[in-house]
Amino acid sequence: MKVVRFNGFHVGVTDGRKVVDASELCGAGEGDWPPVAMNRLIRDFDQLRPRLAALLASEPGVALDSVHLETPVPWPNKLIAYPVNYHDHAKEMASRGLANVQGYFLKSSSSLSGASDAIELPNLPGREIHHECEIALVIGKQCRDIPAERAMEHVFGFACLLDMTVRGKEERVFRKSYDTFTPVGPWIVTADEVPDFANIDMKLWVNDELRQQANTRDLIVDMPSMVAIASSASTLYPGDLIATGTPAGVGRVVDGDVVTIEVANVGRMSVRVVQGARGANVVFEKPYEFVRAH
């Protein structure tokens, strides 16, 4: 099943062609603060699933391409990300800070945006903003200190995720936490619809140029271990997001580009890039030249 957020606050289900509003089932309402209706749907999904399936089967809904797709979980308790998690990306960045050495870091949840939202580039002359193609794991059940062999029992589903990054040597969290720097979507696919989480293809294009391509079998820290590592330190809650890391091929995006990400059995989304006028600060005043390692 695919669950979505759309048109500001609505929560629904989709078959990829139509969207059916299921806001009443999880208490979603206009002006809700904090916006945690999707967290409730994820928490209560086992009980709600028959009613959601019935709605999708019986209601006409509205065309998917007629709605504004929001980020599925705008208010996770945690937005967790793993650093260098593919050996080819480690090579291109000349990095020894692998995911199995450094563990995870946190991004600001205010960086989340949806499939219908643009990526706004901050006004940082002398800096490049790069795309990073990733998969989002969505936690479904509260858990702590879960062993890897049981970790995927606690994963609700998967989504496409872009991890946008200001290139430089400053704090990673700061460089990755600008608003709109974590597009997630276009929906969450429940875990049962992904045949093999250890064998998921993903690709990223900028305009018509294929820049990144990988498979989850190439991960340094695999998905169960990511959940296990994160839960060893922190209680994970329904709606928490884990970004799995990016393969080689990261590169610059500029105003007018369209970034497309496709994750097999999960989804595909294309996100516009626009140049913004805000975001300048003293930290990024010094130019930085990105040199790809060979």
pLDDT per residue as tens digits for the range 216-266? 999 989 999 999 999 999 999 999 999 999 888 999 999 999 999 999 999
DSSP annotation string for 235-259: -B-TT-EEE----S--EE--TT-EE
The pLDDT value recorded for residue 86 is: 80
In this structure, the strands spanning 119-121 and 267-275 are: parallel
**114 touches 182 (CB < 8 A):** no
Output the CA–CA distances (angstroms, integers) from residue 252 to 83, 166, 171, 211, in the order listed.
18, 9, 19, 10
What is the percentage of the chain residues whose pLDDT exceeds 90? 88
Residue whose structure tokens are 């913004």: 276
DSSP annotation string for 159-224: EEEE--EE-SSS-HHHHT-STTSEEEEEEEEEGGG-S-TTS-EEEEEETTEEEEEEEGGGBSS-HH
Supply 189's token pair: 């696919």
The pLDDT value recorded for residue 84 is: 74
Query: How far apart are the C-alpha atoms of 242 and 225, rounded to whole Å?
Result: 12
The pLDDT value recorded for residue 95 is: 64
**268 touches 186 (CB < 8 A):** yes
The pLDDT value recorded for residue 173 is: 96
The pLDDT value recorded for residue 89 is: 64
Query: How far apart are the C-alpha atoms of 158 and 264, rounded to whole Å?
Result: 11
Q: Which domains does the chain have, with CATH numbers?
A: 2-66 (no CATH), 79-276 (3.90.850.10)
Greatest extent of the chain over all pairs of C-alpha atoms, in Å: 58
pLDDT at 19 over 80: yes
Termini Cα distance of the chain = 42
Computed from CA positions of residues 20, 23, 24, 25, in that sequence, does the dihedral angle turn out positive or negative? positive
pLDDT at 96 over 70: no
Of residues 211 and 83, more confidence is placed in 211
Burial class for 189, CB neighbours closer than 10 Å (0-12, 13-18, 19+): buried
Supply 49's token pair: 């699933």
N residues, the chain: 294
pLDDT range class, residue 101, cuts 50, 70, 90: low
Could you tell me which residues are beta bridge partners of residue 43? none
Give the residue among 207, 71, 179, 204 at the shortest CA–CA distance from 121.
179
Per-residue burial over 136-153, b = 16 or more CB atoms within 10 Å of its CB, e = otherwise: bbbbbbebeebebeebee
